[in-house]
């Protein structure tokens, strides 16, 4: 039963704060619940902003999920928009706030306080950063300013700084408006949650659709003048490059809005977010925090992480409200499941990447498969690339990355669930997944990844990864391409010899028994067949993980 009437103040709306408020009302009709929102909108779909920028969402009003009036009518919530929380007095259990329109200040008391101020777009302190044509894309007012700039200036070009979710989506949607786009990324890849081999597919997709992609490029300054294009100076290695553009969108990331928490003495975690327990309580048991402002735990590594995502924020808001009213469901951490559209491709990740595992020293290996998203004989089958990362010592799934044109979101959700339920790669072999030719295959891509990884665990195959092969001197191995002559002629790995799989048994004399052999095919399956033949004939063999498709897509530097 709900406890007696409580006075709850929530600072910030959108995902976490609005979810906490609605859940609290469902648990208590008598509680006083007030939301303070600094901006003009209390609940909007900020993940939809890039698609409104591109015109796919034609009416910006569609992004408004709730208004103060609708929240009052349905949930009896008191919402104060354009109202900034200035200070928290933890000794008096009060919040000092100011109406940003009228300037009026007010003091509100609370029994419990929930912090959900979110995160702010990072704007580095660089020359020219305050120019009129420099924008972020995080709120509806941000969207309105960009739209106004585009319509009033008839601009032709734009530069997007940062290759994360917002940067990728903004670049794509500006291109769809007919604007020439340059995407500038300081690192060696876009879409940081994935490994570079996965990101290479995205790099090619960007270039195919006309985006000028500048990797390993750091913005140093912006020079703007009225009526002229802005000049961006970039550091690219030891050299500088200057490009000109009409519009600049800063999308280099976000940082949690912790100023209020810090000034009130709450504990801040080492990742920069507010530190909370499994019930979303801060270091003050009367104060909770949810959403993009908090530090959470990555369950597989057990390490503190900052992973700002909408789904977790909604669940965190619900858990905070539950705990205030005596319920005890605990937050289980954030494994980092995400999906992103990149023109005609979809990329998705869950769990830990190889580069993250390398940093923390956890044992890992991975397999790469390139199956169709549904039965190949049914029209419209699209090939995907699925990278499954696992611990070779206990077979536990550590992460997965998928890129393709169709069926990506379905498989990443299955693998996310597999991670959360601590399944092994052998378990993936036995998953019973829905199959009909328009939707999947009798051996689903998830099953296929499980088959290959299980073969590695059981010792039925040994793999060599593309980066390892590139570091191997050609004279130390025999590299055998087991594809057809026609495939070989269209492109092959340097220093390889073509012996088609169907001819392999009759041409064993062409392979030296004493020299290690690396076999490869297009995607790995025929290479596996060759591996099984050759190992049983006494050869020392490895199969190239993911085959020629992975080699061709791999980073060239």
Please list the helix, strand and coil fractions of the chain in percent, rounded to the nearest 5, in that order. Answer: 30, 25, 40
Could you tell me the end-to-end alpha-carbon distance of the chain, in angstroms, rounded to an integer?
62
Contact assessment for residue 126 and residue 222, using Cβ atoms and an 8 Å cutoff: yes
Using CB atoms within 10 Å of the CB of residue 527, give its burial: 0 to 12 exposed, 13 to 18 middle, 19+ buried. Answer: buried
Contact assessment for residue 71 and residue 54, using Cβ atoms and an 8 Å cutoff: no
Active site residue 47: yes
Strands 247-250 and 274-275: unpaired
Strands 134-135 and 303-305: unpaired
Give whole-number Cα distances, 46 to 50, 254, 370, 508, in Å.
9, 13, 33, 61
User: What strand order describes the sheet that includes 78-80?
Assistant: 78-80, 32-36, 7-11, 112-115, 287-289
Strands 239-245 and 230-236: antiparallel
Contact assessment for residue 177 and residue 151, using Cβ atoms and an 8 Å cutoff: no
Q: What residues have CB less than 8 Å from 176, skipping those under 6 apart?
A: 54, 55, 56
Name the catalytic one among 47, 149, 340, 521.
Answer: 47
**Distance, CA of 178 to CA of 180 (rounded, Å):** 7
Catalytic center residues: 47
């Amino acid at each position: 039963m709900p406890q007696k009437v409580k006075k709850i103040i929530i600072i910030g709306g959108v995902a976490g704060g609005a979810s906490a408020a609605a859940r609290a009302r469902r648990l208590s009709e008598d509680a006083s619940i007030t939301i303070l929102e600094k901006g003009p909108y209390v609940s909007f779909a900020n993940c939809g902003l890039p698609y409104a920028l591109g015109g796919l969402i034609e009416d910006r009003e569609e992004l408004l999920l709730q208004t103060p009036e609708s929240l009052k009518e349905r949930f009896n919530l008191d919402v104060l928009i354009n109202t900034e929380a200035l200070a928290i007095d933890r000794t008096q259990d009060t919040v000092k706030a100011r109406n940003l329109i009228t300037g009026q200040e007010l003091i509100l008391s609370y029994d419990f306080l929930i912090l959900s101020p979110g995160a702010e777009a990072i704007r580095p302190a660089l020359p020219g950063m305050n120019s009129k044509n420099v924008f972020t894309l995080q709120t509806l007012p941000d969207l309105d300013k960009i739209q106004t700039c585009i319509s009033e200036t008839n601009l032709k070009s734009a530069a997007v700084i940062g290759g994360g979710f917002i940067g990728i989506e903004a670049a794509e949607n500006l291109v769809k408006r007919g604007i020439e786009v340059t995407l500038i990324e300081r690192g060696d890849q876009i879409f940081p949650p994935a490994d570079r081999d996965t990101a290479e597919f995205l790099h090619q997709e960007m270039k195919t659709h006309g985006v000028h992609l500048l990797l390993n490029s750091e913005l140093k300054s912006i020079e703007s003048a009225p009526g002229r294009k802005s000049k961006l100076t970039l550091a690219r290695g030891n050299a500088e490059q200057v490009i000109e553009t009409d519009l600049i969108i800063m999308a280099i990331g976000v940082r949690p809005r912790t100023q209020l928490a810090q000034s009130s003495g709450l504990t801040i975690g080492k990742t920069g977010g507010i530190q909370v327990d499994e019930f979303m309580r801060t270091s003050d048991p009367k104060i909770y925090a949810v959403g993009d402002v908090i530090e959470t735990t990555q369950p597989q590594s057990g390490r503190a992480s900052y992973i700002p995502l909408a789904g977790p924020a909604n669940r965190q808001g619900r858990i905070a409200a539950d705990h205030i009213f005596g319920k005890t469901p605990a937050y289980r951490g954030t494994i980092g499941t995400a999906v992103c559209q990149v023109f005609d491709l979809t990329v998705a990740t869950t769990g830990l990447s190889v580069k993250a595992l390398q940093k923390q020293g956890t044992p890992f290996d991975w397999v790469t498969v390139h199956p169709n998203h549904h039965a190949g004989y049914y029209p419209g089958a699209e090939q995907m690339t699925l990278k499954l990362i696992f611990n070779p010592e206990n077979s536990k799934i550590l992460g997965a990355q998928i890129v393709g044109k169709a069926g990506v979101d379905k498989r990443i959700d299955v693998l996310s669930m597999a991670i959360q339920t601590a399944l092994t790669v052998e378990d993936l072999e036995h998953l019973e997944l829905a199959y009909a030719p328009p939707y999947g295959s009798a051996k689903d891509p998830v099953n296929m990844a499980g088959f290959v990884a299980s073969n590695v665990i059981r010792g039925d195959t040994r793999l060599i990864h593309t980066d390892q092969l590139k570091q191997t001197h050609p004279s130390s191995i025999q590299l055998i391409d087991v594809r057809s002559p026609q495939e070989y002629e269209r492109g092959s790995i340097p220093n390889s010899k073509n012996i088609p799989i169907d001819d392999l048994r009759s041409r064993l004399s062409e392979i030296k028994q004493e020299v290690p052999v690396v076999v490869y095919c297009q995607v790995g399956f025929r290479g596996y067949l060759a591996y099984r033949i050759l190992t049983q004939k006494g050869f020392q063999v490895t199969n190239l993980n993911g085959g020629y498709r992975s080699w061709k897509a791999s980073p060239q530097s």
